[in-house]
Amino acid sequence: MGLSTSSEILDLRHFSAAKLRPVLDAEGRIWKERLQWDYRASARLLMQYLDNHMLPGFAAVAAEQVIGYVFCVYEETKAVIGDVFALEHGHEHTDQAHMLEDTLLKHLLELLVNSPQVDRIESQLLLHATGTHSEIFRRAGFDIFSRLFMVQHLAGLWSAPQPNLPSDLELRSWRDEDLAPAARLICDSYRNHPDSLINDQYRSVHGSMRFLNNIVRYSGCGTFSAPVSHVVVHRTSREFMALVLGSRVSQESGHITQLCVHPAYRRHGLARMLLGVAGFHFMRQGATEISLTVTEANQQAISLYNAEGYACTHKFDAAVWER
C-alpha cells in the first residue's frame, strides 16, 4: 500500500521543528539541484515558526515520522500557500510523493475555502514542475498561470556597465529609505499587468510596500543585496522611474526579485541597463549565475530576458482563487 493512503494527515501546529527536519533537509537537496537555491535560510525561518506552533498547515505522518508538510500564511483576508513537500519513505521525490503532496494540498484547500474570513488564496509552488499539482487546484476552482524560471550564466562582466540615461534621470544603488517611492513605482508599473492577477499586492501602494518589506527587510526571497539593487530617479520630482532588486539565494546564484520601469520611460533601454548593473555586482560578489521568474504571458519581459542571454530551465505554476 502506498504511503499516501497509509499516512495520517494532522495539524502542522502539533509538530516541532526537529520532527520536520528530515523532510526539510531532503527538500533542501532538491532546491539546490533543481534551482541552485540554498533552502537553509528559508528552512530556519520555518523551523522558528514550527517551534512557536504558529504555522497553519498539515503534516503527513507514517510510522510516527513526519514524511510531508504543507503550510500557508495569512495576510489580512488572503492566504498564501507557501510550500508543499513529501518524502517517499525517506527516498526520492517521485509520483508517490506527489500523490501525498496532493493529499496535503487537498486538506489545506478544503480548510481555506471553507474559512469565511479568507477571500483570496494565492500559491506559487516554485519547486514543483508545471502540472504536478495543477489538477488539485483546478478542481478547487483556482485559475492557473504558467511561470518560467530563467537563468543567465555570468561571464565577462568585469567592468561596470556605463549607463546611458536620458538627461532627466540618474542611477544610484538602493538605500534604506527607498521603500515608499519604490512601492509607488511598482504600483504604476503593474497596472493591468498579468502579474497583478497572480499577486494582488501589486495592485496598490500599500500592497507593494508589503511586498518590498518582505523582500528587503525580512529576506522573504533570499538574502537581499543593497549593492546589487539599483534605482533610477527623476532628477526634479525625485520619483523612481525604474528599479532592479537582487538577492543572494546561494553562494553561486543571485536572484532578481524585481525589475520594473515606469510606463513613461519604456523602450529606452533602462531594463537592459539595470540587468547589466545587477549582473556586474552579483559577479563581483562571486556569483556565477543569476536567476529570475517571469509569467509566461509577460512576453515583453521574456523577449528582454532572451535577448540578454537568459534561458528557461524550469517551469512552475501560480494558482489563484477568489471567493
Ligand X SMILES: CC(C)(COP(=O)(O)OP(=O)(O)OC[C@H]1O[C@@H](n2cnc3c(N)ncnc32)[C@H](O)[C@@H]1OP(=O)(O)O)[C@@H](O)C(=O)NCCC(=O)NCCS
Q: Which residues bind ligand X (CB under 6 A)?
A: 189-190, 193, 259-261, 266-272, 294, 298, 300-301, 303-304, 307
Residue 178 beta carbon to ligand X: minimum distance, rounded to whole angstroms: 17
Closer by beta carbon to ligand X, 12 or else 260 = 260
Residue 303 beta carbon to ligand X: minimum distance, rounded to whole angstroms: 4
Residue 224 beta carbon to ligand X: minimum distance, rounded to whole angstroms: 17
Cα 71 to Cα 137, 183, 259, 265, 322, distances in angstroms: 15, 27, 28, 40, 19
Closer by beta carbon to ligand X, 58 or else 190 = 190
Residue 55 beta carbon to ligand X: minimum distance, rounded to whole angstroms: 29
Q: What are phi and psi of 298, to 5 degrees?
A: -85, 70
Closer by beta carbon to ligand X, 123 or else 291 = 291
User: Residues 108, 70: contact at Cβ < 8 Å?
Assistant: yes
Closer by beta carbon to ligand X, 145 or else 190 = 190
Distance of alpha carbon 255 from the chain centroid: 10
Residue 10 beta carbon to ligand X: minimum distance, rounded to whole angstroms: 38
Closer by beta carbon to ligand X, 71 or else 305 = 305
